[in-house]
Amino acid sequence: MNPPASSTPPAFRPRRDHRKKGSALILVLWCLLLLGMAVLGVVDMVELSVDHSAQNQTALQARALALSGLAFGFNPQLLKNDPLLNQQAGPGQQFNVNIESEGARLNLNYVLQSGHREILVNLFTQWGLQLADADHVADCLYDWITPGDLRSLNGAKASDYEAAGLPQRPTYQAFTSLDEVTQVMGMDLIQKVRPNWRDSFTLWSAGALNVNEAPADLIAAVFGIDPSRVTFFTSVRNGRDGIPGTPDDVPVPNVQALQADLGISDLAMKTLGAEISFQDPFRRVESVGQVQGVRVMISVVTRLNANPPQYLLWSEQ
């Protein structure tokens, strides 16, 4: 006989589908968290992109202003103190143009090829280099552009660069950029005593130094005299405003006048006369455009009255 059925309900057992639903909910929440983080990341990227685009747009506007300034600077009739060279284009928008004769800088290739390395030695010692170091740098500059393996007394040829563990080698050709000049052995010495040495040199003038606009230290270096002897000369030459290349200048007309003003001997003038000039056909124009604090500078060396226009150097920063 079968026992009677029990009236006690069976023990409670949790259903598996409840556990599955709990796991799915956690997974969904986790996915939502990841999605939220991704959205925030995209928003940040969009904001950065917008900021970057706005900055690029501002830089383009500043460059456009700099180009506008160049158009004025290229006009051969305008001198460096003309009010047209400094203009406000709107709130926080302006361009400023500086003009100078390219011949007011020493043409490095011209000096080296003329055989007057002593001009460089004079200049480097003015800047504070010891004579031995000045001789070394001048000879290294000469050896860099001069073909052949015959080294100057204090210079350096390819084998010397190799022995010093330096990767660069002389090109045995005229310098094509001032960046190339920095590769010459010994130029680190110049960089230490004269960080802005580039402002004194060019590769794009007609050659000889324009004494009607050059600074006193460069004129003194050409003739090997004390710069103090040249300071009074340049102060008179620059006129009352003290700026070369403006209407009140008192330019030197010829060699005889220069000799009288500086006390240069006939022999020195005969030897170094080819190193100086009284004008130069090349003009350096530096135009700076500014928009809301963003600044773009364009530097151009151009030949005056050239048709079509000639641009020897064009750099932007």
- Amino acid identity, position 29: L
Please, what is the Cα angle at 12 between 7 and 14, to 5 degrees? 155
Q: How far apart are CA 98 and CA 95, in angstroms?
A: 10
Give the residue with greater pLDDT, 48 vs 172. 172
**Residues 71-121 pLDDT 10s:** 999 988 888 889 999 999 889 999 999 999 999 999 999 999 999 999 999
pLDDT at 265 over 90: yes
Q: What angle, 0 to 180 degrees and rounded to 10, lies between the N-to-C axes of helices 255-262 and 228-237?
A: 130
- Amino acid identity, position 278: F
**Residues 301-311 pLDDT 10s:** 999 888 888 89
Q: Where exactly are the structural domains of the chain?
A: 82-104+280-317, 106-196, 208-279
pLDDT at 50 over 50: no
The mean predicted confidence, pLDDT, of the chain is 88
Q: How far apart are CA 59 and CA 76, in angstroms?
A: 28
* Total count of residues recorded for the chain: 317
CATH of domain 106-196: 1.10.40.60
Mean pLDDT value of segment 259-266: 94
Q: What is the DSSP string of 14-60?
A: --HHHHHHHHHHHHHHHHHHHHHHHHHHHHHHHHHHHHHHHHHHHHH
The upper half-sphere exposure of residue 73, i.e. CA atoms within 13 Å in the direction of its Cβ, equals 30
> Which pTM does this prediction carry?
0.80
pLDDT at 34 over 50: yes
